[in-house]
A and B are shown apart, each in its own frame.
Chain A
Amino acid sequence: MAEAEKVIRGIKFGILSPEMIRKISVTAIVTPEVYDENGIPVEGGVMDPRLGVIEPGQRCATCGNTLAQCPGHFGHLELAKPIIHVGFVRHVYMLLKTTCHACNRVKIPEKDLERYRELYRKLKDRWPQLANSLVEFVRQKAAKALECPHCGARQYKIILEKPATFIEEGGRGKLYPDVIKQWLSNIPNTDLEVLGLDPEVARPEWMIVNVLPIPPIAVRPSIVLETGMRAEDDLTHKLVDIIRTNEKLKEAINSGAPEIIVEDLWELLQYHVMTYIDNELPGIPPAKRRSGMPLKTLAQRLRGKEGRFRGNLSGKRVDFSARTVISPDPNLDINEVGVPYEVAMTLTVPEYVTPWNLDRMREYVLNGPYRWPGANYVIDPSGRRLDLRYVKDLKALAESLKPGYIVERHLINGDIVLFNRQPSLHKMSIMAHRVRVLPGKTFRLHLAVCPPYNADFDGDEMNLHVPQTLEARAEAEELLLVEKHILSPRYGGPIIGGIQDYISGGYLLTLKSTLLTKEQVADLLATIDYSGEIPEPAILSPIEAWSGKQILSLLLPEDFNFMGETKLSSGNLKCTSEECFWDTFLVVKRGKVLEGVVDKTVIGSQQPKSLMHYLIVEYGDRFGAEFMNKAFKLFLRYIEMVGFTMTLDNVELRDKALAEAWEYVQNSYKEVEKLIELYNSGQLEPVPGRTLAETLEIRILDVLAKARDEGGSMALKYMGLTNSVYVMARTGARGSNLNIIQMAVLLGQQSVRGERIWRGYRGRVLAHFKYGDLSPKARGFVEGSFRKGLTPIEVFFHAAGGREGLVDTAVRTSQSGYMQRRLINALQDLYVGYDLTVRSAYGELVQFKYGEDGVDPRKTSFGKAVDVDRIIVKNVGWRMTP
């Protein structure tokens, strides 16, 4: 702990030399035996006790430390014959190609060599990239030489036979590792420099191993099964294989066995050492366990998603976190998260005992670990940690608490926690919430924060993290709190806002026809703890009645002006000015809603330039959050009061409407028929760049697409704003006109890859159609609606079209996920400096000014620093007539 602080300046990778391996080794491994008959590890075996402590309580035979302190020690194995290290095969190949087989010099004339070396030394530190290309150039040049410029020897072609066999064509034939090692060790240091090797730490002959380091037992622990049997680690198994083969090879050499036998054993040893290092090499069969599972050897531990790097170093598991299913709670604040008691009693926050919180802390300690709000641990001033589960006299401990103690208390209401839902695609995927401890077993969140997390409640789970230090908590509260993220940097608008029933409710409340009695007004205002005056009623006689717009106005600032179209203002309800018969143009003057309804474009999430957006921009995040808390509760209370539901009747159109739609579809059929006739008679005019058949398809698709949209819209006209389904679609609460058409009128053309469905039998999709039938119904035009039902054939077409969507989402998510990963890896260390430049971690300039204009997109209105139109409305909107 109290060691001097050291700074890592850099990391240099090199190759272990045989001498070094012997030096760090505590013992030579000499026998393939692991345990004797009594189950005691054999000295000189792979489980030699000198390699480290395995069982608790033992003392290390090498360093004398116990299990916790002993770092483990390497052993070594002397190989009977050298072996090529698979990781360096490419380097060895390069070296063999670029150096002479006779004098072992780089095949570059002496004076060029001198020049390159000079250049390389100059470039190395300042221009590593250029140095690399110089090395590449030298390598290519050296490999090309037909004759050695130093000794004049003729050069042979070296062939690499995967995975690790080198052949000298025309020369010695197969090059054995010992020959290669000899060759490589003769290359002078000065020659290696220009080939890009640092001979100080990576002499090439070290790439051929003749001493194998045996890793400590801690790296490959054996597991004791319930049956009392020992199961060894994959690495241990592999090491035993290597030692056994090595023994055999040694024996064969000593007994003067025939050449072939020695060679075969050598080859086998090469295989074992290779698979010990990497068991997923191309071209060689992976070493398997008895069960047939490939062994997990050294490279497998490091590589891939669950490897050491991505799995354990970039991705660590953390304490003080919880995960459970999420569910909605409209009664919470948008800043809050509901936390189950069980979770709150497991996660803790360290709180320093001070004279001011002493009583509270005593209370926690007294409650103990099993009663909320209690505490799980107490840390006394000496740093001793007391587990309250085992403290017999909590009362005495509570009494002895005094400033200087730290109480690790349960999570309580108001604590700051981080809340996260994967995939964490933007910064709003992790936000800070205030804790609200609640009964139940799920995390509860406000519905308006679903969009930034992209959460719903069909079984989604979310993670919660408790920051432990005061700094972390302050930082989370100041930077990460939900309300600070209402505006999204993605498009400058609010990403948190009204969804679904909030929008329906807002619409119903602000309808012109909504009149509220005094009781209703009181009820509504009570839900938001309103304590001001009730305004004068809009209607005085025969009874006093208030409009919904009046109630909403109570929440708006008194100087707020806003005017804009609502979502409803389209088609037959279109209004672009104050003079609006349909009440679809929202006008707010001096904080009073004078006209218009509230719907998606007014309070919706992801709706820039809306009333909600300007409220937040002009009155701040805090006000925006508070407005949402109150307005949304109001809307929900009202929708509860009047009741809002949908039924089958909502998608049932009267006969006249359907007949009208149907007529349109029939006409489209005739049009298609005409097109087909034209095509058959050869009179169809082809679209440029398309064949006649393609032209026909395009034209038919156009006609049929229009048939559904136009025909459907004609029928929709018969729906009114008394119809809940239609209300939801028009106000933007849920669903679209298309959804309604598909429910009430017809599904329309189904398509796969943007074409009518044609795959199946030859010339027809199903056996029910005639060969070559191009009519709408034979190619996936579905006349049925979800209300009416589909014929079996229509169901098939619909399934075919639906499948495409599923496949697309699956493919898209995997592809964009990979892109995201690479982008994040590339961009993660970039930062915007105080001079607004964007720089990499090394100080390289990426942008001279962030975004070229140095502007935070959250604080602009669509790139412009000033939105003149809005400023006018904001300040003098109260006397404007748009």
Chain B
Amino acid sequence: MSTRSEKISHKILEHEYVPKHELLSKEEAIKVLKELGVRPEQLPWIRASDPVARLLGAKPGDIVRVIRKSPTAGVSIAYRFVVVG
């Protein structure tokens, strides 16, 4: 969307505090939504302009998987719905 995307460094993905994000394929996304029993917009949102989303090339309507460290569970998995913005 934005021409500024080139300016974001891929280094941010390596930062300790940036959890791992993955763009889901359409099949995967449908599977996830079915498992959780939600409509996409009922997931937490992430803006398409979010630096990580831009690096992933996520477009509004996509679903992103976030894999992060958790103090209680070790590793926890969350999903984000990409929205305009």
Contact = CB atoms under 8 A, between A and B. Distances in A.
Interface in A612-631: none
A835 interface: yes
A135 to B, nearest CB: 16
B8 interface: no
A854 B73 CA distance: 8
Nearest to B44: A845
A855 B72 contact: yes
A869 interface: no
Contacts of B38: 843-845
Interface string B55-85: 0000000000000001111101111000010
A851 interface: yes
Given A126-B41, A130-B84, A845 B36 contact: yes
A63 B71 CA distance: 67
Contact of B70 (A126, A837, A853): A853
Interface string B14-25: 000000000000
A852 interface: yes
Interface string A821-844: 000000000000001010000111
B29 interface: no
B2 interface: no
A832 to B, nearest CB: 14
Contacts of A130: 84
A852 B70 contact: yes
B72 A851 contact: yes
Nearest to A847: B78
Nearest to A127: B41
B42 A852 contact: no
Contacts of B44: 845-846
A849 B76 contact: yes
B73 A835 contact: no
B70 to A, nearest CB: 4
Given A848-B76, A852-B72, A843 B42 contact: yes
Nearest to A833: B37
A852 B66 CA distance: 13
Given A130-B84, A843-B42, A845-B44, A852 B36 contact: no
A173 interface: no
B13 interface: no
Nearest to B77: A848
Given A848-B76, A848-B77, A852-B76, A842 B42 contact: yes
Contacts of A849: 73, 76
Given A126-B41, A837-B36, A852 B73 contact: yes
A397 B77 CA distance: 67
A863 interface: yes
Contact of B37 (A835, A846, A863): A835
Interface residues of A, number: 18
B78 A863 contact: no
Nearest to B68: A852
Nearest to B78: A848
B43 to A, nearest CB: 6
A845 B43 CA distance: 5
Among A837, A852, A855, max chain B CB count under 10 A is at A852
A30 to B, nearest CB: 55
Nearest to B43: A845
A573 to B, nearest CB: 36
Contacts of A854: 73
A835 B32 CA distance: 13
Interface string B37-49: 1110111100000
B36 A863 contact: no
B21 to A, nearest CB: 15
A854 B70 CA distance: 12
A738 B23 CA distance: 59
A492 to B, nearest CB: 13
Contacts of A852: 70, 72-73, 76
A126 B70 CA distance: 33
Contacts of A845: 36, 38, 42-44, 79
B28 to A, nearest CB: 15
B42 A844 contact: yes
B48 to A, nearest CB: 13
A843 B44 CA distance: 11
A162 B36 CA distance: 51
Contact of B79 (A835, A848, A851): A848
A853 B38 CA distance: 20
Interface string A93-136: 00000000000000000000000000000000011001000000
A851 B78 CA distance: 12
Contacts of A842: 42
Contacts of B36: 835, 837, 845, 848
A347 B42 CA distance: 46
Nearest to A846: B44
A802 to B, nearest CB: 39
Nearest to B79: A848
A845 B63 CA distance: 14
A834 to B, nearest CB: 10
A851 B39 CA distance: 22
Interface in A848-870: 848-849, 851-855, 863
Contacts of A846: 44
A849 B75 CA distance: 12
A623 B74 CA distance: 34
Contact of B73 (A126, A843, A853): A853
A127 B78 CA distance: 22
Contacts of B84: 130
A15 to B, nearest CB: 30
A854 to B, nearest CB: 8
Interface of A: 126-127, 130, 835, 837, 842-846, 848-849, 851-855, 863
13 contacts: A130-B84, A843-B39, A844-B38, A845-B79, A846-B44, A848-B76, A848-B77, A851-B73, A852-B70, A852-B73, A853-B72, A855-B72, A863-B71
Closest 10 CB pairs of A and B: A853-B73, A852-B76, A852-B73, A852-B70, A853-B72, A844-B42, A852-B72, A848-B78, A851-B72, A843-B42
Interface of B: 36-39, 41-44, 70-74, 76-79, 84
Given A127-B41, A845-B79, A853-B72, 8 more contacts: A835-B36, A837-B36, A843-B38, A844-B43, A848-B77, A852-B72, A863-B71, A863-B72
